[in-house]
Chain A
Amino acid sequence: QVQVVQSGPEVKRPGASVKVSCKTSGYTFTSYYMHWVRQAPGQGLEWMGLINPNGGVTSSAQNFQDRITMTRDTSTSTVYLELSSLRSDDTAVYYCARNFNGFDFWGQGTLVTVSS
């Protein structure tokens, strides 16, 4: 069965970077794009970007283009999101999600708190 498991919560200082992992299993990793979506406290869903695990090509929302890095490790079927120059308004739950007819499988979310 498909499983998507993310890394644990993070607390970061403003200006730092954070790297969130998303480990998948139960399907062919390279056959489906993976997306990143975030949700600030009490707010809606914000699409951040995607990675094609087959080759590693990425695309991101304009809001994040200079701060976001998405990578993958095919040996462990894991994708990564790195966000740099963190600000307090980056405090949010970060989700990865598999792209198939919409986003059919989601990770459980990773809370990133940015605070001095």
Chain B
Amino acid sequence: EIVMTQSPGTLSVSPGERATLSCRASQSVSRNVAWYQQRPGQAPRLLIFGASTRATGVPARFSGSGSGTEFTLTISSLQSEDFAVYYCQQYNKWPAYSFGQGTKLEIK
């Protein structure tokens, strides 16, 4: 099983500032990584797939990068609606598409 490890567990950032979230895979997953946003009481929402491609309707302030085992989600200028929990997921090793444990992005 591929283990996805996210850091930090909680990130405190002020509105308008940049947030950088990290995700590390226990073995190479190529670029088969997705990022999701989950607000309280809601289902996860796909933000990024293929490590760096924004899903339909996702604002340009969200960007993803990385390959192999190291991945990053960057939110360039935080808006109030961006404070949520973010998960990375690998879909390289079929069929067990494992998730990271999540990073909670909170208002500083």
Contact = CB atoms under 8 A, between A and B. Distances in A.
Contacts of A53: none
Interface stretch (A10-18, A23-31, A75-83, A97-105): A97-105
B53 interface: yes
Interface of A is mostly: strand
Given A101-B49, A103-B34, A45 B99 contact: yes
B49 A61 contact: no
A85 interface: no
A47 B96 contact: yes
B43 A44 contact: no
Contacts, number: 57
A104 B34 CA distance: 10
Contact of B43 (A46, A49, A106): A106
A53 to B, nearest CB: 14
A45 B98 CA distance: 9
Contact of B34 (A37, A50, A101, A108): A101
B98 to A, nearest CB: 6
Contact of A95 (B1, B43, B48): B43
Contacts of A46: 99
Contacts of A108: 43
B107 interface: no
A30 B6 CA distance: 34
Contacts of A109: 43
B62 interface: no
Interface in B46-70: 46, 48-50, 53, 55
Interface of A: 35, 37, 44-47, 49-50, 59, 61-62, 95, 97, 99, 101-104, 106-109
6 contacts: A45-B44, A101-B49, A101-B53, A104-B46, A104-B49, A104-B55
